[in-house]
Amino acid sequence: MTWQLTPLQCFFIAIVAFGVIGFQRGWRREAISLAFTLTGILFLIFGNVRLAQFVYVNLPRAITTLTTGHQNLQPAPTMTADDPKVAISTSVAFLIFIALGYLVSTKVMPKPATTLDRLWGLIPGIISGYAILTFFTNALNKPSLFQLNVNPPNQNLIGSYLLVVFIIVVVIVILALISASAKRSGSGVPKKP
């Protein structure tokens, strides 16, 4: 018996997983993680070829010049976007951005104190999951990269379910506001002896 997940099922499993992580970590920590994730995406969208050029060409040339004392007079080779080194450096840099966001947010922000803090954490968790899935799906669906035996959802699928993610966020906001108003109104009621 073979059980194969469709791209849509993988997408929803990942969104639910990121939502659960956001619920566990709270909104303060997830907001910082989301900021690092979005910064990493912007940095890598506009500079992924330049990052690979720096890591694979310029940095080794600089180290060689510093260690030998002789400057290489040959022109530096340029990298193109379809080079697998670009995909590798982009993926590693993106994972470093995500890990840095989680580490910094854990050190800077306290654990969530209330259920409301945890409930608000669902929103940045789901948004960061959506952003991470979109970025990796875009990277994995390029035909010129090395072959992976992964069936990621395509960009049209992810883009069409942005409305579903938005509706989930609205439902979370409504639940959080109801929870906050219930706590406020419940705290003024005197306890029975």
> Average pLDDT of 42-60?
86
Q: Quick one: angle between helices 27-53 and 7-25, nearest 10?
A: 120
Please check the confidence at residue 126 and state whether its pLDDT lies above 70.
yes
Q: Quick one: angle between helices 27-53 and 115-140, nearest 10?
A: 20
Q: Report yes or no: 125 and 15 within 8 Å, Cβ to Cβ.
A: no
170 vs 193, higher pLDDT: 170
51, two tokens: 């990052």
How sure is the predictor about 91, in pLDDT bands with cuts at 50, 70 and 90? confident
Average model confidence (pLDDT) across the chain: 81
Q: Which residue has the tokens 């969530």?
A: 112
Percent of the chain, pLDDT > 90? 19
Q: Report yes or no: 33 and 128 within 8 Å, Cβ to Cβ.
A: yes
How sure is the predictor about 106, in pLDDT bands with cuts at 50, 70 and 90? very high
- The Cα–Cα gap between 161 and 141 comes to 18
What does the pLDDT read at residue 154? 64
CA nearest neighbour of 31 among 22, 41, 20: 22
Give me the amino acid identity at 54.
F
